[in-house]
Structure 1
Amino acid sequence: MSDVPAAYRATKGSVLDVDKTFYDGLTAAAGDRELVATHTVPMRDGLAWTVPAGHVFRVRITDGPQVGDFNMWSLHNPRERMWASRTRQLQRAHISTYDRLWSTLPYLRPMATIIDDTLANYGVDDEGGRVHDLLGTRCDPYVNRLLTGEDFDFHCHSNLVRAVEPWGLTEFDVHDVLNIFQCTGLNSDDQYFMKACPARQGDYLEFFAEIDVLCAMSCCPGGDLSVDLWGENAQDPLQTCNPLGVEVYRVAPERLQGWHSPEYAPYRGRHGRQAPKVDWAAIKQQGCC
């Protein structure tokens, strides 16, 4: 692996400089929290749910290996939504504990922080695969039609579209995803590859909600991705599909002392644009004021 330093690096006291002690105090190991909601994302389907700021939510493997395609929006302003590509730059292409999910411009703030990950020690496998990726995006019926010439409705994009419709959102609000439990990488030709999901029953990825959020997730119709979805060996991976579980926890108030939801990015410029000059003398001569 290259030892070239990252382009985006934290400086002491910046928003990238994470208080690990604070987040460690929010995990199940720290105790002092209450389960307030449970959800099941059905096999080959999607679901949306809300999480208040200051709460923890966990995505977990309930039955067998399964990939989940995850989206997130500000609950009160869906124009502010998770920005996968900037998160990839500010954090990593495959994220884990202490990494944050960032929102789109002009807001640009942490929406959620990962506080626990049972796959954190997976690391890099012999083929360069890593888990929880921001490299790829959701499968969709449009690409499938281009690749196969056939319509097939079981895709993460479609699942997410259906999941958010009850919340007043549309297909245009569905965005690039975090692929939870998915193992991916780039091959020697710099091409995206996917491997069988390494997660097992009981594994989970846990987040702390920095703001009030609306979340949505699709149980990928590709299941654990152990079966080719396209190409000469493609087949329907139905037998590899499972549901996923979601749990939401209220944190003890004393654990949140000193914490507050992050503000929007403080840039207040005009992108180099100048305000138009007003000729008040001419206006007065015209009798307008």
Structure 2
Amino acid sequence: MSESRPSPWCGRGDKPREFAKHQPIICYDKPAAAVVSKDEYDDKRYQALTGELVETLVVPKREARTWTMQTGDLCRITVHEGAQVGDVNLWNLENRQERFYSGKTRQLHAAHLQVYDRLWSCLPYLRPMATFVFDTLAKYGIDEDGGALHDVIGTRCDDYTYKLITGQERVGSCHSSLVKAVAEERGMTEQDVHDVWNIFMCTGFTKDTQQYFCKPSPAQKGDFIEFIADMNLLVALSACPQGDVSMPVGAAVPDEKCHPLKVEVFRRK
């Protein structure tokens, strides 16, 4: 018979521990730079959209592409054929060491971005790279499960995690698509790819276990978002191989679940 061991809580009494109740405190009160003038950015949007369409490209399903923007340019990303999520990376066009910082963006704004929130660069720069200015899905809000759209919770799907889950090798993820695009189109490396802005994706955390969840994207053909560049940018977008993200990572995703995304860049005259 094995010898019984005393409880590590022995001597603390039998009464369950009680914890004091406190109201939530917002850890990062928004600095002035995180609060934009809505009138100013509405005007910037108008000036760009009534200017010139300087670039149009379609990101094929399960692939990624890159493009550049000048300060003040407006980018519209449209759900081109059917429900589809996208993963966005941003770099300072003149200094690729300065790139999008999803964690700090989340702290300064929220886990899911809304119109007039900004996308921030990494340390030691910590500057607004772009400002979110329009969303046809803005009325979705926060649903009954805490789900919301356009998260900056963190990572892109990747083949390393796929192997961890399934035990199988694969090349076919947002990470591998972004790596291929920046290598072939911009001469960059895997180390340049970073955590993303998950556009059109409905996500949250379960109330009981606090696990990251996703729901099928509510985006339909014709839905779009727009953002304005606050510096000269290099942008990369993956049309996620998870399609509308109605299936968990590790499950086979039918090709009909995946669609392209359309990119348009507008510039004021």
TM-score, scaled to structure 1: 0.81
Counterpart mapping for 1:139-154 below 5 A: 139-154=157-172
1:109-152 deviations in Å (ceiling 9; x for gaps): 00000011111111011221100011141011111111111112
The residue identity in structure 1 corresponding to 2:255 is: L
Would you say the 8 A contact 2:216–2:245 is kept in 1? Answer: yes
Matched ranges for 1:1-289 at <5 A: 4-10=24-30, 14-27=32-45, 32-165=50-183, 166-187=185-206, 188-230=208-250, 234-252=251-269
SS in 2 for 1:121: helix
Cα offset, 1:79, TM superposition: 0.2
Moved over 6 A (4+): none
Which one-letter code corresponds to 2:245 in the other structure? L
Q: Distance in 1 between matches of 2:47 and 2:219?
A: 20
Residue identity matched to 2:56: T
Q: What CA distance in whole angstroms lies between the structure 1 residues aligned with 2:150 and 2:254?
A: 20
Distance 1:195 1:79, change over 3 A: same
CA RMSD of aligned residues (A): 1.7
Deviation at 1:32, TM superposition (A): 2.7
Alpha carbons 2:102, 2:154 under 8 Å: kept: no
> Residues of 2 paired with 1:82 and 1:34: CA distance?
26
Question: Residues 172, 235 of structure 1: CA spacing in aligned structure 2 closer, same or farther, 3 A cutoff?
Answer: same
The CA deviation at 1:54 is: 1.2
Taking structure 2 as the reference length, what is the TM-score of the superposition?
Answer: 0.87
Unaligned runs of 5+ in 2: 1-21
1:138-180 Cα shifts (integer Å, max 9, x gaps): 0111111111111121100000001111212100000000000
Assess, with a 3 A threshold, how the Cα gap between structure 1 residues 175 and 10 changes in structure 2: closer, same or farther.
Answer: same
Residue type matched to 2:203 in 1? T
Q: CA deviation at 1:5?
A: 4.4
Partner Cα distance (1:196, 1:237) in 2: 14
Go from structure 1 to structure 2 and tell me whether the alpha carbon gap of 1:46 and 1:81 turns closer, same or farther (over 3 Å shift): same
How far apart in 1 are the matches of 2:135 and 2:25? 25
Distance 1:150 1:5, change over 3 A: same
Alpha-carbon deviation of 1:96? 1.6
Deviation at 1:183, TM superposition (A): 0.3
Please say if residues 111 and 210 of structure 1, whose CA atoms lie closer than 8 Å, have aligned partners that are also in contact: yes
Q: Please give the secondary structure, in 2, of the residue aligned with 1:239.
A: helix
Long gaps (5+) in structure 1: 253-289
* Partner SS for 1:161: helix
2:139 is paired with a residue of what secondary structure?
coil
Distance 2:46 2:84 in 1: 23
State the alpha-carbon separation in 2 of the partners of residues 33 and 8 from structure 1: 37
* 8 Å Cα contact 1:227-1:237 kept in structure 2: no
